[in-house]
Structure 1
Amino acid sequence: MTVDTQTAQAGRARRTAGVTFAGRFEFDDIHHRYGARETIRGLSLTAEAGEVLCLLGPSGSGKTTLLRIAAGIEAQSAGRVRLNGLEIAGPHVFVPPERRGVGLMFQDFALFPHLTIRDNVRYGLTAMSRAAALAEADAALERVGLSHYADRYPHVLSGGEQQRVALARALAPRPSVLLMDEPFSGLDSRLKDSIRADTLAILRETRATAIVVTHDAEEAMRMGDRIALLKDGCLIQHGTADELYRRPKSLFAAGFFSEINAFEGTVRSGRVETPLGTVAADGMAEGAPVSAAVRLSSVNVRETGGSIPARILSRRFLGVVELLNFAVPGSETPVRARIKADVLPQGLREVTLSVDAGDILLFEKANVTA
């Protein structure tokens, strides 16, 4: 059994986390610049009290900058930041980070190597007496299953254990809002799921509002009560995981939550033809250029009986599923599909495809990059 596995198991037997007073956190028309480059462009967003809000997007989308603005490490160029209705950053107000009542958990955990684990956790408890701060630090370590490491130093800890210490330190002052920047990116993939689940359980127990930055759509769907999808400093779409996955507002949003086949088309007589089928273009103007998307999981593959002839170009076994590339009439690029492994006989070359019309997503060209 690995040290990280032992830590994960210990976390399940930990002390219950202390409750905080959750805060409502608002970004109101936030703008931000680095020199001439605008990094956030008029973004408005609210994290409701007690919810986990995930800021999702590719590198350079502005999500970490927005988190730093929330923490008070960066100042916005324009707009206002409010906590429980009170302005903490604006044209004439700037509350410093240590007075905002927010906790910040950095991507690299930022533990002090010369301090014990206990002293790392109590570092921010400056308003308490030494005895009270030590007691609170010990309680926080017990909550994350690491009380047995209290007198050790960070260098003896694994990545998963350091993540837990950083979480304990961020939660020890019982902030009303906890800000987390890519908190699981440095963890082994085998451990990530258990650490993430335990972290979410602790957040639920503390009832703190949490704003979590991630570039991983699945992680955002696992953790977030709501997700805010960002691109180029703009808020593209926000809502629950179900809303963003099932009803994406743009090709970018559809492609961020799942692998897709993308095609170009034109509205003709209220319909759009694609290499994988024809779909009604409700509400779209005649002759309008559109983009169509079909998720890989929506492509049905059979030896016979499908409506679209296809030839297998490549086939990759991935364990539970197989990834296949096909040549399909009307498509200059290969069509991809993910299917259950071993459904098709080995050596098969000619197959048929079908896609339900409801699984073909249409987007007006104006919304392709939005």
Structure 2
Amino acid sequence: MIVNRRVFTLAGVAIGLSACSNLPLSPTQHSAVTPTGLPADLRPVPNSGYSAWVSSYRERVMTKGISESTLNSAFRSAGYLPGVIDRDRNQAEFKRSLEDYLSIAASDERISKGRLAFKRHQLTLRALQNTYGVDAEIICAIWGLESFYGERRGNVPTISATSTLAYDGRRGSFFEKQLTAALEILQAGDITVGGMIGSWAGAMGHTQFIPTSYQAFAVDFTGDGRRDIWSDDPSDALASTAAYLQLNGWSRGLRWGSEIGTRASNGKAIQPQEGGPRFSISNNFNVLKKYNNSDAYAIGVGHLADRIAGGGPLQGTFPPDEFGFTKKDRIALQERLTNKGFDTGGVDGVIGTQTLEAVGAYQQSISQPSTGIPSRALLQSLS
């Protein structure tokens, strides 16, 4: 049986990764960060409905073998997190092009950090390749996409997150299963209550496993008796990812695919973005989609893995965007706005909310209507 590892998946090239810890908090979420490092809305607040639900849940779950001591320990500091519900109900599904997605997934920073991480952990990664048959670079690339090589694992208490979503979320039954699985993990002794942290949606560790997927696939690769995907040592987490892919049908020695024109084509051809590069894909591409059900994600992992291994950028070109801009134009826009003091949130060639706000602010500064819509004339005026 295939067990889906992720709480949220991507459809086509729609990027809905806001539940994952590897993305930075939004500007509004940064506005009230507490000394613990969490935004104020991700700290427990009193909620009588939640408390009543937990009381009823405790009675139910004790019949499934969860001890009273485990429950007392788990819920001692747990509570209702209003920010979890806000994020669950207001997830923006950003419709990104494949070009934009790859600009993020295989950015220069992610590639350079990936090569350093691979060098640092190459003995473990090569051992995993030998054991599970999954390419070492693929494992490293998934690590890079999921938590920026362990830098962004998330710090939201999993019991609070899953119990909040079980009580007041869109998919209460699903998250109650995740909560119960999390309690079973605690009871088994793999991690302490204080150490069980992750994303606001309950995904945990270096490669962001939800609790039920942890139970199905997590591996004690270090041999210390604990399947510790939370440790600063990523070995167990990386092994768990390799085991996941192997058990979902990964074929040893088979490439994920390649850009058509750079290698001989021997698989199914796809073109995720009209007018953009075409790819030849193998069954291992489909296995990557079991990790996250998106063509963009699978290409992102494969391409990042190729870049970590020393490969070059894609050779094909992408068509201009809705503003008539190429990626080079978008980078120029962001650079020029930044040079004039308008914060675009970085120079990556991806036009997001901050870039559009910077465009609007610049337009206002030159006494033009603040539409926030880039144009060639606006780009020229910035030069």
Quick check: TM above 0.5? Answer: no
Structure showing the higher strand proportion among its residues: 1
Structure showing the higher helix proportion among its residues: 2
TM-score, normalised relative to structure 2: 0.24
Task: State which structure, 1 or 2, has the greater radius of gyration over its C-alpha atoms.
Answer: 1
